[in-house]
Amino acid sequence: MTPEEKRARNAARMRESYHASPENRARREESNRRWRAANPDRVRALRRRAKKRYEAANPEKKRAYQREYYRRNFERDKPRRNATSRQWRAANKERANSQARASKFRNRYGITLEDKDALLASQGGKCANETCDRTDPGPRGWHLDHRHSDGFIRGVLCGHCNTALGFACDSPQILRGLADYAEKHAA
């Protein structure tokens, strides 16, 4: 008989004796309880290992549990989540700001900050308005110009040109009229 067969036979006998009588079951459970009390670190390690194995084998169940837990405890955990977020943002201001900007560009315009930087580089590092040669974007940085009707990205503008275009409601007629007005009353 091989060692594996002996182990299997002994395990079968133990299961049999465990289920056969309540006294054996009680004695075995008491023995397990004592071992767990004497070895809490090993118990924690074994449980962690078993949990990792289960989660690796059942990722969809883990995700479903997490979603349900979050939904069920949303209101209860909200103050703690908010406080934790505030602390992290206070300790990591620069990173929080860059993540917020990246998220804004991804959600609002569907591009990354790298895409915006590449677009600016393709414009020669200056405003997309050909008559404006500003290489300094102004106090609020470079602005991604887009059509409001469909979100099409036209280019990267300096703060001054973006503000002018915004006040003109993206209307070429208004901008031409303002240009004519400025030329008419030039000194």
Beta carbons within 10 angstroms of residue 128's beta carbon = 21
pLDDT, tens digit, for every residue of 101-123? 899 889 988 899 899 999 999 99
Contacts of 162 (CB under 8 A, 6+ apart): 143, 145
pLDDT, tens digit, for every residue of 78-87? 999 999 999 9
Q: In the structure, what pLDDT confidence band is assigned to residue 187 with cuts at 50, 70 and 90?
A: low
Rounded Cα gap, residues 133 and 123, in angstroms: 11
Rounded Cα gap, residues 170 and 155, in angstroms: 13
Structure tokens at 122: 């393709």
Rounded Cα gap, residues 174 and 113, in angstroms: 31
Find, among 145, 142, 153, 94, the residue nearest to 117 by Cα.
142
pTM value > 0.95: no
Residues of the chain with CATH 3.40.1800: 93-184
Q: Which residue has the tokens 């289920």?
A: 19
| Per-residue pLDDT, 51 | 95
Our measurement of the distance from residue 101's CA atom to the centroid of its chain's CA atoms, rounded to an integer in Å, reads: 13
93-184 in CATH: which number? Answer: 3.40.1800
> For 156, phi and psi rounded to 5 degrees?
-115, 125
